[in-house]
Homo-oligomer: A and B are copies of this chain.
Amino acid sequence: MRRWNGWGDDTVDFEVPQAASKYLAKLIGPAAPPNIISLEEMMAMVPASRLPMHPLLNTDPEERIRHCFGQSMSDWIYFRGGLVPIFPDGVAFPESDKDVREILGFAKEIAARVIPYGGGTSVVGHLTVPKGEQSVITVDMRRMNKLLELDKQGCLATFQAGVRGPDLEAALRAEGFTLGHYPQSFELSTLGGWVVTRSAGHFSMGYGRIERLFVGGEMETPVGTVKIPAFPASAAGPDLRELIMGSEGRLGIVTKCTVKVTALPEAEIFSAAFFPGREESVTAARALAQAGIPLSMIRLSLPEETSTTLSLKDGWQMDLLYRWLAWHGIKEQRTMLLYGAAGTRKKVNWALRRVKEIIKKHHGVYVGTSVGKHWYKSRFKLPYIRNNLWDLGYAVDTLETAVPWNQVPVTRKAIEEGLRNALIGVNEKVHVFTHLSHVYPHGTSLYITYIFRLADSPSETMLRWQTLKKAASEAIVRTGATITHQHGVGIDHQPYLAAEKGALGMEMISSLCHTLDPEGMMNPGKLVK
C-alpha cells in the first residue's frame, strides 16, 4: 500500500548500506533516529469536516490525511514530525468530466476551495491546504485513468488525465507504442500532473519534455470547459496549451490529454563513461548536446555526486573500477556520465559510435553498459532512500534549475555554497552534490541534492530546511537562473517567481487566473498569490 508518510509503496525499502551511512557520518556527523508519529496519532489531529454532504465527497479522516500532503520537505516534517497541518475537508474521486464539473459547481455554490490531486508527488507544495474560513475539497483524479483513443497512424493517444505512469505505458505498450515520459515520480504521478507542472522525464532529450508531448486536451474551469484541439502545429495566435501547462491547478482541472506517442524502439541502450574532472566533463556534455546526435538521455554526475553514488556500492568490482580509472588518470575528481539512445538498431549504433568519439576527445573513458543498465533498472528505487535516511536521522532534499552553458559554474557554485554554509549558525554541516539531469544545445539543468541532520524537534528541523531552501533559492535568483527546471512553482518557489517573470509577467498570469477563476477558488496560494 502507498505510504501515508513517505515515498512510494510500503513494501519497498532502500536500505542504506553501512558504507554510505559511515560516509555521511564522516561528512556531516552521526545522526540519531528521530521520533516518527503514527497514522493513529495523526488521525487524532483531524478536525471535523466543514463540508455539507455530497455523494461525490469522502470525508473519512484517513483519506483527508492521505490527501493532505505532497512530498516536499515541508510535507515530510509535518507527517513525520507530527506538526499539525491543515487538512482538506473532503476528498472527491470523480470518474468523468461530468463529475468534475459537478464538483466544481458544488464548490462554487458553497464557496469552497478546490485542490486538484494527481499522484500526490509534488515536491514544492502544490497540494498544501490553505488556511482560512472556506472549506477545502481535494479532487483526486485516480479514477479517471482510461485510454480514450489511440490513433496509431497519426501517433496520437488521448487519455483521461488521472492515468498514472505505469498504467499509461502499459496501455500504450500493449499496442506497440510508448510515450517515453519518465519523470522520477513516474510510478506514482499522473499525466495531468505532468502537464500542469511542466514535467521533464529521464528521456526528455529524445522524446521531449511534456511540453512537446502534450498536444491538446480539455480542462474544466469554474467558468466552463477549455478545449485545445490537437494540431501538429499552428500559428493561430498565442498557444493556449502553454497556459494550461504550468497552471498548477490555478485555472481548473485538466481532464483529458492528447499526447504524441512513438512506436516502441527496436533498441534501447544505456552506457556510461567517466571523466577526470568537472570542467572536462561539462564541456563534453555540452559538446554531446550540441552535436545533434539522436540520444534519449545525457546525465552527468559531478565529482561530489559521483563519490556519493559510488559510496552506496562496494565490493571487489568497485575496487577494480577505481584502479582501472586511476590507470587512465581518472582519480578523486572523477565524474560519471550516463547516456542512452533509443530507436532503430542502426540509428542507436550510429549514435553510440558518435558519442564514443566525443567522449574520447574530451579525455573520458567509456566503461560499457553495465553501469547504465544498473541505473536503468533501479532508477525508480532511488527516491525510497529518503524514507530510510530519515529513519537514520538524515533529511535529504533536492532542488533544480536551468541556465545557459556559460552560467553553469557561477550558478552551481552559488547554490552549492549557499547550501553548504546555510547552517553554520547552528553548527551543522550540509552535504551537497549536483548532477546535470537534462542537457540542451543552449544550456543545462542543474540538479542539486543536499543532506542535513534532523534537529531534535520538528519545528527546529523546519527552520533548518527553510534556511537551506532560502539560501539556495536566493542563489538561483541572484545568478539569473530559473527557479525551477522541472519541479514547478507551488508554494515553495512562489516567492521567487516574480524575479524571472517580472511584475508585468506576474500580472499576465494573474489576469488569466481571474478570467477562468473569478472567485479565486482554484488551488489558492500556488504559483501566484
- A: residues with CB less than 8 A from B are 151, 153-156, 197-200, 209, 211, 215, 221, 223-243, 245-248, 260, 262-263, 286, 290-292, 294, 343-344, 346-347, 350, 354, 402-406, 438, 440-445, 480-489, 493, 497, 500-505, 507-509, 511-512, 514-516, 527-528
Are the CB atoms of B406 and A151 closer together than 8 Å? Answer: yes
The one of B200, B230, B248, B347 that contacts A233, using a Cβ cutoff of 8 Å: B200
Are the CB atoms of B497 and A237 closer together than 8 Å? Answer: yes
Are the CB atoms of B224 and A403 closer together than 8 Å? Answer: no
The one of B343, B404, B489, B504 that contacts A224, using a Cβ cutoff of 8 Å: B504
- Please measure, in the bound complex, the distance between the C-alpha atom of A507 and the C-alpha atom of B231, giving whole angstroms: 21
- Please measure, in the bound complex, the distance between the C-alpha atom of A317 and the C-alpha atom of B242, giving whole angstroms: 50
- Please measure, in the bound complex, the distance between the C-alpha atom of A373 and the C-alpha atom of B515, giving whole angstroms: 51
Tell which of A234, A290, A509, A527 has the most Cβ of chain B within 10 Å.
A234
User: Can you name 8 A-B residue pairings with CB atoms under 8 Å?
Assistant: A154-B443, A156-B404, A223-B504, A229-B482, A237-B501, A238-B242, A239-B246, A240-B501
Are the CB atoms of B154 and A484 closer together than 8 Å? Answer: no
What are the residues of chain B within 8 A of A442 when measuring CB–CB?
154-156, 215, 230, 232, 260
Tell which of A237, A405, A482 has the most Cβ of chain B within 10 Å.
A237
- Take A290-B263, A343-B292 as given contacts and tell me if A233 and B440 are in contact as well, using a CB distance cutoff of 8 Å: yes
- Please measure, in the bound complex, the distance between the C-alpha atom of A402 and the C-alpha atom of B229, giving whole angstroms: 11
Are the CB atoms of A234 and B504 closer together than 8 Å? Answer: no
Are the CB atoms of A501 and B236 closer together than 8 Å? Answer: yes
A298 to chain B, nearest CB (A): 13
Residue in chain B with minimal CB distance to A526: B237
A158 to chain B, nearest CB (A): 11
- Please measure, in the bound complex, the distance between the C-alpha atom of A481 and the C-alpha atom of B354, giving whole angstroms: 40
Are the CB atoms of B234 and A238 closer together than 8 Å? Answer: no
